[in-house]
């Protein structure tokens, strides 16, 4: 029952972050095993088919876990930003999990990250 309660909270978190800016396309929570435990999409956010989306999430998880090998030198990863021509992908640390965002290209993503971090901080308290 605790797991479903956490998923419910993550669902609320995803929904809240999706609404902070009209340029947010996707929000999701990736757990420490690489499973997408919650997600919320903007209605017109159909850049990838379901298999491609799984592949993208897998690559994000793989990158995150590989870089954890250097965390004793760098410290814990807080934010990762990858800009593509058609989308910007962002991952934020969330209690040993990753909070994922995709946003439209050319947008002030630092403002979105700041707002998202505030929501995550409130969520964690």
98, 24 Cβ separation under 8 angstroms: no
d(CA 116, CA 95): 14
Which residues, in sequence order, are bridge partners of residue 99? 29, 92
Tell me the CA distances in angstroms from 70 to 18, 33, 99, one per residue in order. 31, 19, 20
The per-residue pLDDT for 69 is 83
Cα-flanking dihedrals φ and ψ of residue 102, to 5°?
Answer: -125, 140
With CA atoms as reference, report the closest residue to 118 among 16, 31, 41.
16
Domains and CATH numbers, the chain: 2-124 (3.30.450.30)
Q: Which two tokens stand for residue 91?
A: 């991952």
Q: What is the pLDDT of residues 45-94, one digit of tens each?
A: 778 888 988 899 999 999 888 888 888 888 888 899 999 999 999 999 98
Q: What is the pLDDT of residues 26-44, one digit of tens each?
A: 999 999 899 999 999 988 7
- What is the pTM for the complete model shown? 0.85
């Amino acid at each position: 029952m605790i797991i479903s309660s956490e998923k419910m909270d993550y669902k609320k978190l995803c929904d809240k972050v999706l609404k902070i800016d009209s340029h947010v396309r996707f929000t999701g929570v990736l757990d420490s095993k690489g499973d997408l435990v919650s997600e919320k999409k903007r209605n017109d956010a159909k850049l990838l088919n379901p298999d491609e989306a799984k592949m993208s999430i897998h690559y994000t998880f793989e990158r995150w876990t590989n870089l954890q090998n250097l965390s004793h030198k760098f410290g814990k990863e807080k934010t990762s930003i990858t800009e593509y021509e058609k989308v910007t992908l962002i991952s934020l640390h969330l209690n040993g999990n990753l909070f994922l965002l995709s946003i439209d290209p050319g947008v002030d993503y630092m403002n979105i990250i700041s707002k998202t971090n505030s929501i995550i901080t409130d969520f964690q308290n």
